[in-house]
C-alpha cells in the first residue's frame, strides 16, 4: 500500500485563450499509491479534469505545462515522446469518461471496441483479443456477453454502456485507472451499481484509481483518500474519514454542509455563496477568501501553505496557523466531528454515508 | 430490407407517372411545333405531317395515347434525330455521358473527401485555409468556365489532351475534370465540417485514451463516422452530374445525352423530351434509393423498414 505508483509534483498548467492566459492548474502536487483509490473533488472548473488529462497526455492544444513533473513509476511522463505516451495510454494508464452515451464509437461493434486496446498494445491474435474482450464484458456484468459482442452501442442502455467503457479501460489490466466523473451522467440507482462494480474490479485487479467527481456521496463510497481542489489548487487532502469527519479547510466545510443528508428535513440546503475566482487573473491571496465567511486579513494577502493536521491529513488554510484565532466550524461540520469522536471511541471508524448510497 | 426496396420502387412508379403527366402538358405549352423551323413546308404538307404524328388530335387524346404506349415500353420515335426510336437514341448516347459523369463523380468525391479530411485534421492553419479556398473556387466557378479554361490551357496551349469531340478515352479527360470541380468542392466542405465535429467527440478522446496514434484514430474511428452525412449529398450530386452535364457536353462537342436534351427542346421534339425527362427522373430516384441503402450499410443505427417513422 505504501509504494507510490504516481507522483505529481508542482504541476502548473496554463491555457492560452483569446481573453488571455488562464492559470488552470496552480502548483498541484499529490501522489497515488499502489492499489488505492484517490478521489479528487471540486466544483466545475477547479482543474480536476485538466490534472488527469495531463497525466494521460491528452491536454488540449492550447494548454502549456509551465512546470512540474508527473512521475509514473519514477519516470517523468512530461518528458516522454508522443510515441512513448501512446504506449502508456490504454496500457498502463487508462481512462473512463463522463458520458457513456457519447464515449463509444457508434459504428463499431462493442466486441471490437473492447478488444481494440489489446490489439494496439498486446502482441495478441485477433481471436484471442475477442475472447479476452468477451471475458472482460462478462466481468463487468454485461449479460449474454458472447452474443452481444456483435451489437452496436445504441443497442445498450446508459448503465450498460458505462460498463462497456469500463471494460475497455480495464481490458489491458492498467496500473492506473482514471475515472473522470464516471457516474455523473447516470441515474442514481445505476450510479451505485457502477461504483460497486469499480470497487469489485479494483479488488480483483489491484489497480490504483484516480476518481474525479463533484459528488461527495460517491466519494464516500469508493475512496481511500480524498483531495479537495479549488481554483486550480489542492486545498485539503487526507483519508476519506479525515475529510468527511474532520475537515479543516473552510471550503471543505462548505462542500460538506451543502451535501443533502437524510435528516435534513424541511431545512434549506446550505450553499457556498459567490462564484469561483477568475483564473485569468487569480487573486493574490487565498483564492477562496472572497467566499469564505472565516476569512482573515492575511487570507487576502498571502496564499496559505499546507499545515499538517495528522500524518495523512493536510489543509492549506491560515486557520491552522498557530497564531490564528479559534473559530467554530458550521453546525453540520461540528456534528461530523462529534460523530467521528464517537466512532473513534467505539473503535470502528466506518462510513455511514457509504451504507446509505448502496441502499 | 427487400420489402422496403419494393415499397420504394412502387413509389418511384407513381412519381414517374406524375413527372410524365406534368411534363407532357407543360411541353405542349411551349411555343411552336416540331415543324415550325422547316419553312419549306406548305400548309397542306404540314397538315399531313400533323396527322401522321397524331398531333391534330385533342390534347387529352394525345396524352392517353402516349401513356398507353409508355405502358408497353414504347417511348415513341424522335421527330428529328433520323426518325430513330427514342429508347435506342438514348441508349446510344448514354455511354459518353455515363463515362464522363462517373469519372467526374469518382475523382471529385474521393479528392473532396481527402481534402476535407486533411483540412479537418489541420483545422485553422494554412492547410485548412487553402482547402477552404479550393472549395469556394470549386463551388463558385461554373463547370462551363472551368471547361473553357481547361480547354485553353491543357488542350490549346500545351496540347496535352484533345480539345473537343469524342475520339476515345482521352477525349473524356477534360470534360470529366471540368465536371469534377463541383462534387470535389461540395464533398470537401461537408467532409471538413463533419470531421471537425467527429474529432471533437468523446469517442475520439476515448480512442486516443486507448493508445491509438493520431492516424489510427482517424482511420479506425473518424472516417466512417464522418462519411455518414457526406453520403447523403453524394446521391443527389451524382444524379446532378450525370444529368447536368449538358453544358459541358456542348462545350466539348460530346455526343452525350445532355447535348441531345438541349437539341430536343430547341426543336420541340416531343417524344425525345418526354423520354429524356422520364429517364432523368428515374436516374435521380435510383440514386436516392442507393443513397438510402448505403446509409443503412454504413450506419448501424439506421435500419431500413417498410414502416414509416422507423
CATH value at residue B207: 1.10.3720.10
DSSP A239-262: EHHHHHHS--SHHHHHHHHTS--T
Q: Collapsing DSSP states into helix, strand and coil, what is residue A344?
A: helix
Closest CB to A105: pick one of B208, B216, B221. Answer: B221
pLDDT at B310: 37
Helices and strands counted in chain B (H then E): 13, 0
Do residues A94 and A172 make contact, with C-beta atoms less than 8 angstroms apart?
yes
Question: Which residues lie across from A180 on neighbouring strands?
Answer: A212
Which chain A residues touch B301 with a CB distance below 8 Å?
106, 152, 154
State the Cα torsion A98-A101-A104-A108 to the nearest 10°. Answer: 180
Compute the distance between CA of residue A209 and CA of residue A199 in angstroms, rounded to an integer. Answer: 10
Q: What is the least distance, in Å, from the CA of B207 to any CA of chain A?
A: 9
Instruction: Kindly indicate the confidence band of residue B146, based on its pLDDT and cuts at 50, 70 and 90.
Output: confident
Which residues of B make CB contacts under 8 Å with A?
201-203, 205-213, 216, 220-221, 224-225, 228, 298-301
CA dihedral sign, ordered B79, B85, B88, B90: positive
Q: What angle, rounded to 10 degrees, do the helices at A250-257 and A331-346 form? A: 90
* Domain membership flag for residue B84: no
Average pLDDT for chain B: 83
Closest CB to B225: pick one of A56, A107, A117. Answer: A107
* Domain membership flag for residue B248: yes
Residue A343, all three cell numbers: 466512532
User: Which strands make up the sheet holding A4-17, listed edge to edge?
Assistant: A20-33, A4-17, A63-72, A75-76
* Domain membership flag for residue B244: yes
Do residues B75 and B271 make contact, with C-beta atoms less than 8 angstroms apart?
yes
B177 is in which domain, residue-wise? 93-266
Q: What is the mean pLDDT of residues B263-279?
A: 85
Compute the distance between CA of residue A271 and CA of residue B118 in angstroms, rounded to an integer. Answer: 49
Q: Residue B154 to residues A313, B181, B186, B254: CA-CA distances in angstroms? A: 78, 16, 24, 18
- Cβ count near A308 (within 10 Å): 10
DSSP 8-state assignment for residue B85: B
pLDDT at A354: 42
Q: What is the least distance, in Å, from the CA of A186 to any CA of chain B?
A: 16
* Domain membership flag for residue B216: yes
Do residues A160 and A77 make contact, with C-beta atoms less than 8 angstroms apart?
no
Go through chain B and tell me how many residues it has. 310
Q: What is the least distance, in Å, from the CA of B224 to any CA of chain A?
A: 7
Compute the distance between CA of residue A193 and CA of residue B111 in angstroms, rounded to an integer. Answer: 49
Phi, psi dihedral angles at B200 (to 5 degrees): -90, 0
Compute the distance between CA of residue B148 and CA of residue B163 in angstroms, rounded to an integer. Answer: 10
Contact B206/A165, CB-based, under 8 Å?
A: yes
Contact B209/A107, CB-based, under 8 Å?
A: no
Question: pLDDT for B30-54, tens place per residue?
Answer: 777 777 666 677 778 778 877 777 7
Question: pLDDT for B212-227, tens place per residue?
Answer: 988 889 888 998 899 8
Closest CB to B211: pick one of A106, A117, A152. Answer: A117
Which chain B residues touch A98 with a CB distance below 8 Å?
202
Do residues A165 and A116 make contact, with C-beta atoms less than 8 angstroms apart?
no
Q: What is the mean pLDDT of residues B55-67?
A: 84
- Residue to mutate among B121, B196, B203, B227, with most A CBs inside 10 A, is B203
- A111 at B interface, C-beta within 8 A: no
* Domain membership flag for residue B97: yes
Q: Residue A239 to residues A39, A71, A216, B121, B292: CA-CA distances in angstroms? A: 10, 22, 14, 44, 58
Of B107, B64, B117, B103, nearest to B223 (Cα)?
A: B117
Strands A208-213 and A4-17: unpaired
* Domain membership flag for residue B279: no
- A114 at B interface, C-beta within 8 A: no
Compute the distance between CA of residue A242 and CA of residue A261 in angstroms, rounded to an integer. Answer: 18
Helix (H) / strand (E) containing A178: strand A176-180
- A95 at B interface, C-beta within 8 A: yes
Closest CB to B209: pick one of A56, A87, A154. Answer: A56
User: Which strands make up the sheet holding A208-213, listed edge to edge?
Assistant: A93-96, A176-180, A208-213, A37-41, A225-230, A233-239, A314-315, A307-308
* Domain membership flag for residue B39: no
CA angle A227, A254, A289 (to 5 degrees): 85
pLDDT at A353: 43
Closest CB to B211: pick one of A86, A102, A106. Answer: A86
Closest CB to A117: pick one of B210, B213, B225. Answer: B210
Residue B18, all three cell numbers: 406524375
pLDDT at A289: 87
Residue B150, all three cell numbers: 481547361
Our count of domains for chain B comes to 1
pLDDT at A9: 92
Compute the distance between CA of residue B221 and CA of residue B213 in angstroms, rounded to an integer. Answer: 11
pLDDT at B43: 78
Q: What is the least distance, in Å, from the CA of B110 to any CA of chain A?
A: 21
* Domain membership flag for residue B74: no
Task: Pick left, alpha or beta for residue B276 (phi over 0 → left; psi -120 to 50 → alpha; otherwise beta).
Answer: alpha
Q: Collapsing DSSP states into helix, strand and coil, what is residue A17?
A: strand
- Cβ count near B47 (within 10 Å): 12
Compute the distance between CA of residue B102 and CA of residue B109 in angstroms, rounded to an integer. Answer: 10
Question: Which residues lie across from A96 on neighbouring strands?
Answer: A179
Contact A107/B201, CB-based, under 8 Å?
A: no
- A308 at B interface, C-beta within 8 A: no
Do residues A117 and A90 make contact, with C-beta atoms less than 8 angstroms apart?
yes
pLDDT at A351: 47
Q: Collapsing DSSP states into helix, strand and coil, what is residue A38?
A: strand
Q: What angle, rounded to 10 degrees, do the helices at B223-243 and B270-298 form? A: 180
Residue B167, all three cell numbers: 475520339
pLDDT at B56: 77
ipTM higher than the 0.90 cut: no
Of A71, A82, A11, A20, nearest to A47 (Cα)?
A: A11
* Residue found under cell 446550505: A270
Which chain B residues touch A97 with a CB distance below 8 Å?
202, 205-206, 209
pLDDT at B244: 63
Do residues A140 and A169 make contact, with C-beta atoms less than 8 angstroms apart?
no
Do residues A312 and A239 make contact, with C-beta atoms less than 8 angstroms apart?
yes
Helix (H) / strand (E) containing B10: helix B2-29
* Residue found under cell 464517537: A342
Compute the distance between CA of residue B310 and CA of residue B292 in angstroms, rounded to an integer. Answer: 13
Q: With a cut of 70, which residues of chain A have pLDDT below it?
A: 1-2, 263-266, 347-359
Which chain A residues touch B209 with a CB distance below 8 Å?
56, 58, 89-90, 94-95, 97, 169
Instruction: Kindly indicate the confidence band of residue B305, based on its pLDDT and cuts at 50, 70 and 90.
Output: low
Compute the distance between CA of residue B202 and CA of residue A88 in angstroms, rounded to an integer. Answer: 19
Residue A310, all three cell numbers: 495528522
- Residue to mutate among A53, A88, A116, with most B CBs inside 10 A, is A116
Contact B220/A58, CB-based, under 8 Å?
A: no
Q: Residue B224 to residues A57, A106, B91, B297: CA-CA distances in angstroms? A: 26, 10, 36, 11
Contact A97/B205, CB-based, under 8 Å?
A: yes
Compute the distance between CA of residue B258 and CA of residue B94 in angstroms, rounded to an integer. Answer: 9
CA angle A34, A39, A42 (to 5 degrees): 150
pLDDT at B268: 81
* Residue found under cell 449479460: A143
Contact B210/A99, CB-based, under 8 Å?
A: no
Closest CB to A103: pick one of B202, B228, B301. Answer: B202
State the Cα torsion B63-B65-B70-B73 to the nearest 10°. Answer: -160
User: H helices of chain B, where?
Assistant: 2-29, 43-52, 59-71, 86-121, 126-140, 143-150, 170-199, 202-209, 214-217, 223-243, 246-251, 257-266, 270-298
Closest CB to A103: pick one of B203, B216, B228. Answer: B203
pLDDT at B39: 64
Amino acid at each position: 500500500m505504501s509504494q507510490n505508483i504516481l507522483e505529481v509534483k508542482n504541476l502548473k498548467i496554463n491555457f492560452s485563450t483569446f481573453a488571455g492566459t488562464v492559470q488552470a492548474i496552480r502548483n498541484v502536487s499529490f501522489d497515488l499509491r499502489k492499489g488505492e483509490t484517490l478521489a479528487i473533488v471540486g466544483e466545475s472548473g477547479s482543474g480536476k479534469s485538466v490534472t488527469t488529462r495531463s497525466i494521460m497526455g491528452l491536454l488540449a492544444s492550447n494548454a502549456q505545462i509551465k512546470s512540474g513533473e508527473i512521475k509514473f513509476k519514477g519516470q517523468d511522463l512530461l518528458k516522454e515522446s508522443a510515441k512513448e505516451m501512446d504506449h502508456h495510454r490504454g496500457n498502463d494508464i487508462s481512462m473512463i469518461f463522463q458520458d457513456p452515451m457519447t464515449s463509444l464509437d457508434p459504428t463499431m461493434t462493442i466486441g471490437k471496441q473492447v478488444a481494440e486496446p489489446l490489439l494496439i498494445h498486446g502482441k495478441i491474435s485477433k481471436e484471442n483479443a475477442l475472447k479476452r474482450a468477451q471475458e472482460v464484458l462478462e466481468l463487468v456484468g454485461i449479460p449474454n456477453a458472447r452474443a452481444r459482442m456483435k451489437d452496436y452501442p445504441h443497442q445498450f442502455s446508459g448503465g450498460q454502456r458505462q460498463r462497456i467503457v469500463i471494460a475497455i479501460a480495464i481490458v489491458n489490466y492498467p496500473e492506473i485507472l482514471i475515472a473522470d466523473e464516471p457516474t455523473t451522467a447516470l441515474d442514481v440507482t445505476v450510479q451505485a451499481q457502477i461504483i460497486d462494480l469499480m470497487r469489485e474490479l479494483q479488488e480483483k485487479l489491484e489497480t490504483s484509481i484516480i476518481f474525479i467527481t463533484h459528488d461527495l456521496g460517491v466519494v464516500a463510497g469508493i475512496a481511500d483518500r480524498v483531495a479537495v481542489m479549488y481554483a486550480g489548487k489542492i486545498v485539503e487532502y487526507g483519508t476519506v474519514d479525515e475529510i468527511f469527519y474532520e475537515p479543516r479547510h473552510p471550503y471543505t466545510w462548505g462542500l460538506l454542509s451543502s451535501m443533502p443528508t437524510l435528516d435534513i428535513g424541511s431545512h434549506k440546503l446550505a450553499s457556498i455563496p459567490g462564484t469561483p475566482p477568475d483564473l485569468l487573473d487569480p487573486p493574490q491571496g487565498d483564492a477562496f477568501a472572497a467566499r469564505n465567511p472565516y476569512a482573515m486579513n492575511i487570507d487576502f494577502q498571502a496564499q496559505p501553505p499546507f499545515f499538517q493536521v495528522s500524518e495523512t491529513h493536510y489543509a492549506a488554510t491560515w486557520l491552522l496557523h498557530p497564531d490564528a484565532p479559534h473559530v467554530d466550524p458550521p453546525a453540520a461540520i461540528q456534528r461530523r466531528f462529534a460523530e467521528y469522536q464517537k466512532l473513534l471511541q467505539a473503535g470502528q471508524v466506518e462510513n455511514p454515508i457509504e451504507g446509505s448510497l448502496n441502499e | 430490407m427487400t420489402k422496403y426496396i419494393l415499397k420504394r420502387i412502387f413509389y418511384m412508379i407513381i412519381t414517374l407517372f406524375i413527372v410524365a403527366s406534368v411534363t407532357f402538358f407543360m411541353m405542349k405549352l411551349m411555343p411552336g411545333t416540331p415543324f415550325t423551323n422547316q419553312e419549306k413546308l406548305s400548309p397542306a404538307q404540314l397538315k399531313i405531317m400533323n396527322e401522321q404524328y397524331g398531333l391534330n388530335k385533342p390534347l387529352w387524346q394525345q396524352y392517353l395515347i402516349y401513356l398507353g404506349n409508355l405502358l408497353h415500353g414504347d417511348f415513341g420515335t424522335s421527330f428529328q434525330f433520323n426518325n430513330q426510336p427514342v429508347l435506342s437514341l438514348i441508349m446510344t448516347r448514354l455511354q459518353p455521358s455515363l463515362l464522363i459523369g462517373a469519372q467526374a463523380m469518382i475523382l471529385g468525391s474521393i479528392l473532396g473527401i481527402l481534402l476535407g479530411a486533411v483540412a479537418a485534421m489541420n483545422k485553422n492553419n494554412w492547410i485548412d485555409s487553402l482547402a477552404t479556398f479550393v472549395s469556394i473556387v470549386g463551388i463558385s466557378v461554373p463547370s462551363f468556365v472551368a471547361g473553357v479554361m481547361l480547354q485553353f490551357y491543357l488542350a490549346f496551349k500545351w496540347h496535352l489532351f484533345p480539345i473537343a469531340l469524342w475520339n476515345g478515352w482521352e477525349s473524356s479527360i477534360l470534360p470529366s475534370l471540368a465536371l469534377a470541380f463541383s462534387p470535389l468542392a461540395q464533398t470537401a466542405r461537408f467532409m471538413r465540417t463533419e470531421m471537425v465535429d467527429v474529432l471533437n467527440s468523446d469517442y475520439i478522446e476515448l480512442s486516443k485514451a486507448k493508445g491509438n496514434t493520431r492516424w489510427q484514430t482517424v482511420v479506425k474511428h473518424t472516417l466512417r463516422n464522418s462519411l455518414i452525412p457526406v453520403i447523403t449529398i453524394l446521391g443527389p450530386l451524382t444524379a446532378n452530374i450525370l444529368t447536368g452535364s449538358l453544358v459541358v457536353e456542348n462545350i466539348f462537342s460530346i455526343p452525350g445525352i445532355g447535348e441531345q436534351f438541349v437539341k430536343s427542346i430547341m426543336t420541340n421534339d416531343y417524344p425525345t423530351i418526354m423520354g429524356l425527362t422520364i429517364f432523368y427522373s428515374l436516374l435521380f430516384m435510383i440514386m436516392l434509393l442507393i443513397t438510402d441503402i448505403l446509409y443503412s450499410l454504413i450506419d448501424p443505427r439506421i435500419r431500413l423498414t417498410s414502416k414509416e417513422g422507423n
